[in-house]
Structure 1
């Protein structure tokens, strides 16, 4: 099978893949106008000086867009959509991600970050080639509405970065499937395939960045959450499917175990251990909602999320969700 822009390529190519719509410029005024027109003011470009090459290619799928952009070193992107979502995936080079509190992370090949209404972000480029996936709010609402058991109420993205490695890999696989389906063929892609690709991208984005049904757990991107506690929560979210203890959490955020305990108790009215248990129970709840009653078993899901005793898991589950895990699995 033909491979499209392999995720681990480290060299920035001279041109993006063959586009349906493309431009290349070294003129700052022209680049500002083009970016503004393409993203409706949701993306603003800074640090672009005359002579720098900016290349952009787009596939327009109606309710979704796929862009490949080559950014010169030193360029800064301020991203703040009014609706829908923009998801950035680094193909080559690096982007430095910064949130509104000044917390930073380096995104390298294969890493992704999301911006949506209420979740703006800043990206600094180190000569990077980037994919940008645009998802319309109407598409996201429609796909979420078809999964009412998972998404209740309005669609709200809660995370700028994938929650864990599994989420990161799932998003990457879905995006690459869509690229292989529509990018080479461009105008010849069948409407039915384009619609399937739109739904695939929306479902993957919602699963990766919205975390359906997670209303009962505080979100690490909540503006009221202190930065150190937010980092601890991100650490837990990324490793909740493995062994994790208070010392590992403390080491990750450069605090003492006592200080970590204090942060969780003061701001979340819980302990780190209880937060991990609740998060694992919630992940099990998600698996039960999405499971196939003829294939999935309660015991297997409980074991996956660290509940060795299925009976005790069932008791905790009923206390939290008001029904047995078997009832949830049966739908």
Structure 2
């Protein structure tokens, strides 16, 4: 999957307003300090449904924004912001996280800031929510704009930094589809864990009656046939004719693991086969094979591989 990147900067206040509106939502902004020419700099990277931005400016302005219809969350890295979304107003300090509540107008007072932003469609976050709860997509709502706890604020810092590093890396022009899917899933899962939402209070159903063996066989067959595709738990459940929650329960009961852990093991086995078949003299590398099968970092892949096969992947490639 190709990573689309863009970068721009401007000292024109009207252009800065237009850029923010184009990238996010419609808004009415007014600049309140013009002692020096305002400057806004934006870098952005998109891979499939996931987008990350780094927004820096050296001016002060007040903005009234239209409602967001996708999930947009951020972390303030420098400066200060006062943000109001829905009925909640929050004063942001460096290190603080914030999520714009969907469907709610917003108001912001911003001054000389540097902020990291992450955007995902609500449907992608809802799919992640369905994996662990019985919540319908239409019932998923974020209810507060700030992290649940200081510990989860720190977790958000780490996840956001990881996603930004992955997509903003200039040496990465293409992300393997499996890696892109895993990064998006990591982002969606973090959003659900960090910011208060209806999955935190919804009913978690008790284990249901045992799934028919045929349903589990369909799930396993689908994973084996599509191990090289960026499939999700929802995709696997649909192929098996069951709900994502039922799939999770079935794998826990019959395989003592999760569907995604089972899929990762399948992909590790495929990577092992590719290493055995590859010829390093033709340019084949451990990193390329690992990435093809969804292992973004060669070092992490080497650790998992050695644990499973008792030797480093580089040795398998050379023999």
Q: Which category describes the TM-score, using the shorter chain as reference length?
A: 0.5 to 0.7
8 Å Cα contact 1:150/1:213 also seen in 2: no
Counterparts of 1:76-155 in structure 2, within 5 Å, are 76-101=62-87, 104-149=89-134, 154-155=139-140
Match for 2:55 among 69, 82, 87? 69
Query: CA, structure 1 residues 80+202, in 2 after alignment: closer, same or farther (shift >3 Å)?
Result: farther
Question: Is 1:46 the counterpart of 2:46 in the alignment?
Answer: no
1:125 is paired with a residue whose SS is strand
Question: Is 1:33 the counterpart of 2:27 in the alignment?
Answer: no
Report the Cα offset of residue 177 of structure 1: 1.7
Q: Match for residue 213 of structure 1?
A: 200
In 2, the alpha carbon distance for the partners of 1:163 and 1:91 equals: 19
Report the Cα offset of residue 55 of structure 1: 0.8
Query: CA, structure 1 residues 77+131, in 2 after alignment: closer, same or farther (shift >3 Å)?
Result: farther
Structure 2 unaligned residues grouped into runs of 5+: 204-248, 258-319
Q: Match for residue 236 of structure 2?
A: none
Query: CA, structure 1 residues 28+153, in 2 after alignment: closer, same or farther (shift >3 Å)?
Result: closer
In 1, the alpha carbon distance for the partners of 2:123 and 2:24 equals: 16
Question: Is 1:55 the counterpart of 2:55 in the alignment?
Answer: no
Counterparts of 1:168-179 in structure 2, within 5 Å, are 168-179=153-164
Structure 1 unaligned residues grouped into runs of 5+: 1-18, 217-288, 296-331
Q: Match for residue 176 of structure 2?
A: 190
Report the Cα offset of residue 186 of structure 1: 4.5
Report the Cα offset of residue 71 of structure 1: 2.3
In 2, the alpha carbon distance for the partners of 1:132 and 1:126 equals: 17
Report the Cα offset of residue 187 of structure 1: 2.1
Deviations 1:261-319 (A, max 9, x none): xxxxxxxxxxxxxxxxxxxxxxxxxxxx9xx8989xxxxxxxxxxxxxxxxxxxxxxxx
In 2, the alpha carbon distance for the partners of 1:28 and 1:203 equals: 37
Q: For this pair of structures, how many residues does the alignment match?
A: 201
1:86 is paired with a residue whose SS is strand
1:187 is paired with a residue whose SS is coil
In 2, the alpha carbon distance for the partners of 1:179 and 1:158 equals: 25
Query: CA, structure 1 residues 194+137, in 2 after alignment: closer, same or farther (shift >3 Å)?
Result: same
Relative to the length of structure 1, the TM-score reads 0.53
In 1, the alpha carbon distance for the partners of 2:141 and 2:134 equals: 15
In 2, the alpha carbon distance for the partners of 1:205 and 1:192 equals: 20
Deviations 1:76-96 (A, max 9, x none): 243444422111210111112
Report the Cα offset of residue 150 of structure 1: 6.7
8 Å Cα contact 2:148/2:196 also seen in 1: no
Q: Match for residue 230 of structure 2?
A: none
1:188 is paired with a residue whose SS is coil
Larger radius of gyration: 2
In 1, the alpha carbon distance for the partners of 2:28 and 2:49 equals: 22
Relative to the length of structure 2, the TM-score reads 0.55
Query: CA, structure 1 residues 46+143, in 2 after alignment: closer, same or farther (shift >3 Å)?
Result: farther
In 1, the alpha carbon distance for the partners of 2:89 and 2:141 equals: 23
Counterparts of 1:145-294 in structure 2, within 5 Å, are 145-149=130-134, 154-184=139-169, 185-211=171-197, 212-214=199-201
